[in-house]
A and B are shown apart, each in its own frame.
Chain A
Amino acid sequence: MSSPVSQFKTDATAKAGDLRHRGLIQTALRKYEIVRDVRKGAFQDWEQARQSAAETKFFAINHLDTHLVEFAEKLEARGTKVHWASTASQAREIIGGIIKQKQAKSVVKSKAMTAEEIHLNPALEKLGFEVVESDLGEYIVQLREEAPYHIVFPAMHLTRAEISDLFHNKLGSPETHSPEELTMIARDALREKYITADIGITGANFAIAETGMISVTENEGNARLSAALPKTMISLLGIEKVLPKLEDLALFLPMLATAGAGQQITCYNTMYGGPRQADECDGPEEYHVVLLDNRRTELLADPEQRDALHCIRCGACLNVCPIFRNVGGHTYGTTYSGPIGSVITPHLRGLQDWKHLSNSSSLCGACTETCPVKIDLHHHLLHNRRNASAGKPSVLERLAYRIYAIAVNTPGFWGLGKRIGRLAYPFARFFSGTIYDPARAWTKTRDLPPMPGQSFKEWWKERNR
């Protein structure tokens, strides 16, 4: 098993040079940029909307205890069973336990990044349950036995030809390059699953404290079917999903859709607050909500980076990130990729193992600028760098900087370096970027800039003569 950092470097190098991959991602994201800008432009004031959204999430997170208690009590009053899980394994046990108790055979699941985070599907499959992902993109990556590529567009890295081959091999469907026909193949395959499934599992985009409801955003209707037909419904969500009031959705639903997919509002935004009530004709007999901590409280304990818990998982920061666009989603090796993933993964999975993600950034700030809830993403990458080096300083790096500091503070040294540089430059070309070059990691993909014949100081002197 390679370490996260070496896996990242290997995959990043491979993906950055993969022109086919680049083409696909650039096309998809260019389409996204165009529609997103149209939708942003329709807002009377997008910047004020961001400020209001940031303040709403700030208030929600900084009173998380009272909001969670209110959320759980309101849900329970409507007959929902609320479970609290400190760790991923507890959450898996709770969900596995419910399914076992119901003697369920099949489980239909709608998209939930939290379930990816706790590796729910492999755990349930180990217990002998069939789990079917019902979101089209998730269904495709599940058939390919890989992780979602992007938190909003899971199958963004695939062409229709690849999806056609996949369906042909796994489902025996005829080959077709029509996205419409491919979608209908999945629709037909999954219809039966909804009707026969015993358990429906969903994630949640928001948890409304005031009314005790989760809110699920989706375009396809798969989550609505998962919440309508099976006899037992389970929703898994991180504790940070809270919004204080029902009417906060009036701001968050269009902002999530705009930032996430360039839509004015997503096709279905559905609030669930309990199992089937006495005066209702359908819906699950039992409803379970599983609230997951999984080290979110550690991030909460860091006031400097607490706003990372404001994240609504729209994926906007991934879409604009030059690193994401070059190395792709899978390279990160994390559940949450892109800038937000680079910020929170070190908190969720260990700073020293994942600190390299903080360096995989150009610090251009595009993520911070695009974030609909104003998370200070690129500064948090710097905070993680600082914390990582404070926790485990690199002796060689410190030494190098010390020598550099002496060199730039001592004119004699600097002048000497300049002269050596000029003499050495003609020879440097021969080994720059080769295995004999100590700075190879940097120079193998970059040209050594030519050494000027005259320094600024020399030029200034000459000019004033």
Chain B
Amino acid sequence: MGAATAAVGLPDGPGSGAHRVGAAAAPRLRLEEVYDAHVDFVWRSARRMGVPQEAVDDVVQEVFLVVHRRLDDFEGRSSVKTWLFGILLRVVSDHRRRHRRKGGLAPLPEALAAEPDRSCPAEQLERRTQLELLHALLMGLDDDKRAVFVLAELEQLTAPEIADALGIKLNTVYSRLRAARKEFEEALARHRAREARR
């Protein structure tokens, strides 16, 4: 995936800030290439931003349909990833708003939403449980902090890239990340304490 990205000159991720997609010179983005290179990122980011398993197909599709319409708008931006994340946030918020109005389609608990007939060896089950914990901790953050935290700690983007993705100031990135880390750590500590009492 990374190789394909490089081949078509799509800047991607940390360190790519220097390459800019020029208005004329650089090859244009093509939907399939963007999809192949970034569907994993969009998918996992959707999950981490609180999209339930059963809705993630729709959200990911919506993101790439927006991408399809707006490929030209990408010009001059530094990173496909940050661009995609900005689109994702809007799709997610739109999605959530629609479901809330429809009478609050509560996300299924992970255990129910999980793929039903996958056989899970014990170790895998343990990791699944940990993943659910991570998602639960993320959901404990508000939307702004969660976005910064996900990009920084799970995607390892740089602060300027996060500022670009979210359209916020660098200082705001730092202050939100600091607050998000604090809340995340506290919630994790509470969880571990509860576990220890059991």
- Same assembly: no
